[in-house]
Structure 1
Amino acid sequence: MNKLILSTLAHTWILDLDGTIVKHNGYKLDGTDTLLEGAKEFLEDIPEKDMIVFLTSRTDEYKNKTINFLNENKIRYDHIIFNAPYGERILVNDDKPSGLHMSIGINKKRDEKLCINIEEDSML
């Protein structure tokens, strides 16, 4: 399990959709999406003050189907970016003068349980 100790500031979560939150290509293979084990609970643990942005390589052809699935399953999000390239996703950010690192990257195995424990530390 990955353990994240974060500041009490509001955060921006940038999450891939397929293989991270839902079964990879399930919308094509099974005709519908399936939430991965632990994904709904993980998303529900993200504080309300935080922003959730989904990235996906899904084309606009699947936009309505994807949004309907998320809404039907009461998955909170602020933005979804479709048509993202298949390659690596690179996050670049600056550190605060206090030394607080302002970017974090986590890789997980495709379609495995999403297991990240989120804790906030007011000393950060």
Structure 2
Amino acid sequence: MADAATTLTLSRLPKTWLIDVDGVCLAHNGHLRADERLLPGVREFWAGLGADDMVILLSAREESWRAPTLALFADLGLRVDQALFGLPVGERILINDKKPGGLLTAHAVNLARDAGLESVRIDLDPTL
């Protein structure tokens, strides 16, 4: 069952995207089954990222999977600025301060495993 659409209303400022690999961009543990496939909506999501945005991949994959995983992203034309591998498999917590004017600078989206990114919508608010 697909998640309901999630719309993030964001400012026009450059962003830092922390994006998980397995279950969000690529089929979960596909690298272990020789089934590395891009999930629905990932290519379209990436196309909507700003040129000044930074993309940081997060993965519990062992460090030995860094080169082949990043090569796959490059082959797919998906820009990656940095990548963290060998992370714990538990929760990932983002803590940030909000701007003095009230702009929230931390957002989180939890997706069903292997649903891809097609349910995530980005709305850039021209007033932010």
Do both share a fold (TM > 0.5)?
yes
Q: Mind listing any 5+ residue stretches in structure 2 that lack a counterpart? A: none
**Would the aligned equivalents of 2:23 and 2:116 in 1 still touch at CA under 8 Å?**
no
The alignment covers a number of residue pairs equal to: 123
Which residue of the other structure, out of 25, 30, 49, is the alignment partner of 1:21?
25
1:33 paired with 2:29, answer: no
1:61 maps to 64
AA aligned opposite 2:85: F
Q: Report % sequence identity.
A: 36
Q: Structure 2-normalised TM-score?
A: 0.92
Dislocated runs of 4+, deviation >6 Å: none
1:90 alignment counterpart: 93
- Aligned-partner SS, 1:40: helix
Distance in 2, Cα, partners of 1:110 & 1:49? 28
RMSD of equivalent CA atoms: 1.0
TM-score (norm 1): 0.95
Please list every run of 5 or more consecutive structure 1 residues that lacks an aligned counterpart in the other structure: none
TM-aligned CA deviation for residue 32 of structure 1? 4.3
Partners of 2:35 and 2:114 lie apart in 1 by 15
Alpha-carbon distance between aligned partners in 1 of 2:116 and 2:71, rounded to the nearest angstrom:
23
1:100 corresponds in structure 2 to 103
